[in-house]
Chains A and B, each alone.
Chain A
Amino acid sequence: MRLFNQKETSDLRKASEKEAQKPGHSLEIFDFSGENAITVKDVDLYYGTFQALKKINMEMPKYKITAMIGPSGCGKSTLLKSLNRMNDLVEGCRVEGEITIGNVNVYEKGIDLSALRKNVGMVFQKPNPFPMSVYDNIAYGPRTFGIKKKGVLDEIVERSLKQAAMWEELKDRLNKSALGLSGGQQQRLCIARALAVGPQILLMDEPTSALDPISTGKIEDLCEELKNDVTIVMVTHNMQQAARISDKTAFFLLGEMIEMGDTEQIFSAPVHPETERYITGRFG
């Protein structure tokens, strides 16, 4: 069943732009009381005529780390980006099926993208702190959501940096440029920046692929800490990383989800032969 053809998708974009003209409404439109934070049902995704995702079905449990693995071009990043609808930026991209987050179908007409992305934060492959001070980077999100009081902002900045385990490192350089930090610090700052708006879900798109092993370790430790408060979905090229930190692992190949299960099971007793061939390094 085609839920969204191309024209409707562009209508959606228009709708969300219109939505933006009516500021002042609440952003808490999600209900995360259920067991699964994200449910993906029969999702097909096309870039123009190319089908990048084929009938994806998966459930991502709350307060767990779900890892998505697979060779390059298998669609795992594409799926990640459709969870917070960053794929809307790609011209000719069209999604069919249902992605339910916090009991709301995020591709429903008139959904507020600001509310979605406030609740579903994202960390990119390459650290992208804004060219501002450390403090302004963290305070950026809250400020755009109407927080002006210095006391409240201070509190949020301190809490977010502590949550990202970098308060001790950065408390004396809050007004220095964020671009002067090391790559690993920049990436953790981006995590802190995402946390500052209080997301329920954190999407991570190969967050450590541009980093050295020590910084990678720090971010992995941080993820273990964070899953007490947020649900994490992580795309990774690094199978050891998936095995080390994730609770659930999904294996993708050529736009299809081949297998998903508990991480231990996937890495010790995969059901599908392709999964086994990939995790034992015979292709990829």
Chain B
Amino acid sequence: MENTVTQRKQREHIPADKVKNGIAKYIFIVCACMSIIAVVGIIGYILYGSIPAFRQVGFFKFVFGTTWYPDGKKFGILPMLVNSLIVTAFSVALGGTIGVFTAIFLVFWCPDKLHLKYKGQNKFLAKLVAWLNKLNLRTVFDQVIKLLAGIPSIVYGLVGLQLLVPILSYLDTTPPYQGEGILASSILLAIMVIPTITSLSKNALEAVPEQYFEGALAMGNTKAQAVFRVVVPAARSGIISALILGTGRAIGEAMAVIWVSGNRALFPTGLFSNIRTLTVNIVMEMGYAELTLHRPALIATGFVLLIFVFIITLSLNLVPKNFKGKRGTMTLNGDSTAAVTYVKKGLLAEILKVIAIVCAVLVLAILAVIIVYLTIMGLSNLTASFFGPSSADVPTLFPALGATLELIAITLVIALPIGIGAAIFLVEYAKPGSKFVKIVRTFIDTLAGVPSIVFGLFGMIFFSGVLGLSYSVMAGALTMVLVVLPTIIRSTEEALIAVPVSFREASYGLGASKVRTIFRIVLPSAFPGIATASILAIGRIIGESAALIFTMGALYTFTGNPLDSSCSLAVLLYSCANEGYHMSEAYALAFILILLTFVLNLIVYFIQRQVKKKR
């Protein structure tokens, strides 16, 4: 009797659960579709905003016109397009070489520990040496790469303006001998693409089966020969993908080059000729552009940039994944009379090995210089007035800090549920390899590749304009949701995949529904991964400036109302240094930003170490 009652109860339960499961599934699908909606929306609104320019100037004249003179109604972007392409090519050539060789060093030659010796009497030094010897060098190097990746682009811009350009000015032989231009922009962008290229190349190299390496050694190869003749070629598709992603990053970067390019919309003539790239054009002129033609022309500049970024992203799919071999047959013409003498070779491989070591040291040195420079300049410029009250023309820390915190809070409240929902759909519901999943993934990747400045243009048109939010923290936050969504989806996805299938099976085995299993079992186990995702997103929000200048504004004051304009730390740094009146505040802000980046990276590191320990 009792048995039938429970059975009936269970039967009654099923429909309610079914409804819940069905609704949940559709909510997750909608979350997954957000990336598609975002990408389509961005393309649509940017194109829509560009149409007045294309109509009045003509698409062909716009793209191939050689004069940019807004006051004379002349809108030709060809010089800037050429500049963007040249600077991108140079920076990827330079940063790509350094990045790939650094990755090779990290995978094959980075020692596990330092072996320093100290024989002096100084106790502090002895302790320091002992501590250094204990460090795991590979972990340290990983963190160095992550820190380089996390430094906000506006901070790179400041370092470029105040440190790199003055150094380069000694080499500049053309008036006005300032050191700005193609070389400065390329070097700065090269530094910015190094982390991307290094970490992706490292993944590709680590994925090469060990047995190729062993096979080459067993043939009598030296280690360097085995690395450069077998392992690196075997990883080439991953390395090429890394270079392509670096290219996308370089062409879309705005804030790092804004102060070092020289800002002249002319064709380049030499390494020090002052230039203006597509991205710089948008940031520099948007503030004072009139609405009928100049602003559409700047949006159209963003549209052309977006097309280039899409071409670069799509070319990722053309990278051949496996070695296939050539068609047709091969005829051999053996020369049986020639004497065969084998000799030891491998000088080239040894030289390449030395290059790898030099590149890795260079990367360390670059980070060290940036950190030391910003720490010295930052600490010496931390004045009392910087922590004091603010007004319309006195920039201080706390309003910007408040605005940044509000920006982070609103962004995460919206982006986390959507991102986690999308990740749940991709991992728990979607059939792996189905067409819909492939489409969703392509759109997530595409969204991840959209340059910040284009997000900014879209936010300006849609959130500030169409939704009527004008310049406000809310408009900035909604824009940032789109910026951080790919990061959150990917990290959450990784965390969900790492939850053992047996957990789910155990839950199903007890009769739990899918939704219950996800919320009670899977998500709690994936919590550290989701926390990591949030911190990565926070890092991105703190460092972002290009997407916020035209959505959140640059007011020095903060009211607390999300519908009011204000400015985040990074945007404040931009406006302080851009006008040149508040350089000491700029340094202080750069130091605070880099400190925040460091702390966030440290938190991620400790979360991940904790997770690893548990397993």
A residues at B contact (CB < 8 Å): 17, 20-27, 84, 86, 89, 112-118, 121-122, 124, 126, 128-133, 135, 140-142, 144-147, 149-152, 154-159, 172-177, 179-180, 190, 193-194, 197-198
Q: Which residues does chain B contribute within 8 Å of A86, judged by CB atoms? A: 214, 217-218
The contact string, 1 if C-beta is below 8 Å from chain A, for chain B 393-435, is 0000000000000000000000000000000000000000000
- Shortest A233–chain B CB gap in Å is 14
Q: Provided the pairs A89-B217, A130-B212 are in contact, do residues A155 and B336 lie with their beta carbons within 8 angstroms? A: yes
Which of A20, A22, A113 has the largest count of B CB atoms less than 10 A from its CB?
A: A20
- B344→A174 contact, CB < 8 A: no
B211 interface hit (Cβ, 8 Å): yes
| Further 5 A-B residue pairs, CB within 8 A, beyond A117-B218, A155-B332, A175-B329 | A24-B344, A144-B345, A146-B343, A177-B322, A197-B342
CA distance A116 to B220 in the complex (A): 7
The contact string, 1 if C-beta is below 8 Å from chain A, for chain B 338-373, is 101111111100100000000000000000000000
Q: Provided the pairs A23-B343, A124-B211, A151-B335 are in contact, do residues A144 and B326 lie with their beta carbons within 8 angstroms? A: no
- B329→A154 contact, CB < 8 A: no
- B222→A17 contact, CB < 8 A: yes
B330 interface hit (Cβ, 8 Å): yes
CA distance A190 to B212 in the complex (A): 11
Q: Which of B209, B212, B323, B344 contacts A114 (CB 8 A)?
A: B344
Q: Which of A21, A26, A144 contacts B350 (CB 8 A)?
A: A21
Q: Which of A20, A130, A157 contacts B224 (CB 8 A)?
A: A20
- B218→A122 contact, CB < 8 A: yes
B: contact size bracket = 35 or more
B229 interface hit (Cβ, 8 Å): yes
Q: Provided the pairs A144-B219, A145-B220 are in contact, do residues A177 and B340 lie with their beta carbons within 8 angstroms? A: no
Which 4 pairs show the lowest CB-CB distances between chains A and B?
Answer: A151-B335, A155-B334, A145-B342, A118-B220
> Which B residues from 291 to 347 make CB contacts under 8 A with A?
322-326, 328-330, 332-336, 338, 340-347
B221 interface hit (Cβ, 8 Å): yes
B524 interface hit (Cβ, 8 Å): no
CA distance A116 to B338 in the complex (A): 24
B230 interface hit (Cβ, 8 Å): yes
Listed by A's residue number, 26 A-B pairs whose Cβ atoms lie within 8 Å are A20-B350, A24-B344, A25-B344, A26-B341, A27-B344, A86-B214, A117-B218, A124-B211, A124-B215, A128-B212, A135-B330, A142-B342, A144-B220, A145-B342, A145-B345, A149-B335, A152-B340, A155-B334, A156-B334, A158-B334, A175-B325, A176-B326, A177-B323, A194-B218, A198-B340, A198-B342
- Shortest A48–chain B CB gap in Å is 15
B522 interface hit (Cβ, 8 Å): no
Which of B223, B328, B332 has the largest count of A CB atoms less than 10 A from its CB?
A: B332
- A27→B214 contact, CB < 8 A: no
CA distance A252 to B323 in the complex (A): 41
Q: Which residues does chain B contribute within 8 Å of A25, judged by CB atoms? A: 343-344
Q: Output the nearest chain B residue to A203 by Cβ-Cβ distance.
A: B218
B526 interface hit (Cβ, 8 Å): no
B107 interface hit (Cβ, 8 Å): no
Number of A-B contacts (CB under 8 A): 163
CA distance A149 to B339 in the complex (A): 11
Q: Output the nearest chain A residue to B229 by Cβ-Cβ distance.
A: A144
Q: Provided the pairs A114-B220, A128-B212 are in contact, do residues A174 and B332 lie with their beta carbons within 8 angstroms? A: yes
CA distance A205 to B443 in the complex (A): 48
- Shortest B429–chain A CB gap in Å is 34
Q: Which residues does chain A contribute within 8 Å of B218, judged by CB atoms? A: 84, 86, 117, 121-122, 124, 194
- B338→A155 contact, CB < 8 A: yes
Q: Which residues does chain A contribute within 8 Å of B325, judged by CB atoms? A: 133, 173, 175-177, 180
Q: Which residues does chain B contribute within 8 Å of A149, judged by CB atoms? A: 335, 338
CA distance A96 to B222 in the complex (A): 24
Q: Which residues does chain A contribute within 8 Å of B86, judged by CB atoms? A: none
Q: Which of B230, B234, B330, B344 contacts A112 (CB 8 A)?
A: B344
- A174→B330 contact, CB < 8 A: yes
Q: Which residues does chain A contribute within 8 Å of B341, judged by CB atoms? A: 26
The contact string, 1 if C-beta is below 8 Å from chain A, for chain B 215-256, is 111111111110001100110000000000000000000000
- A197→B219 contact, CB < 8 A: yes
- Shortest A192–chain B CB gap in Å is 12
- Shortest A156–chain B CB gap in Å is 7
CA distance A25 to B345 in the complex (A): 8
- A173→B329 contact, CB < 8 A: yes
Q: Which residues does chain A contribute within 8 Å of B219, judged by CB atoms? A: 117-118, 121, 140-141, 144, 193-194, 197
Q: Which residues does chain A contribute within 8 Å of B217, judged by CB atoms? A: 86, 89, 117
- B215→A130 contact, CB < 8 A: yes
Q: Which of A122, A151, A157 contacts B338 (CB 8 A)?
A: A151
Q: Which residues does chain B contribute within 8 Å of A116, judged by CB atoms? A: 220
> Which B residues from 546 to 603 make CB contacts under 8 A with A?
none
Q: Which residues does chain B contribute within 8 Å of A24, judged by CB atoms? A: 343-345
CA distance A115 to B219 in the complex (A): 10
CA distance A151 to B216 in the complex (A): 23
CA distance A173 to B234 in the complex (A): 20
Q: Which residues does chain B contribute within 8 Å of A142, judged by CB atoms? A: 340, 342
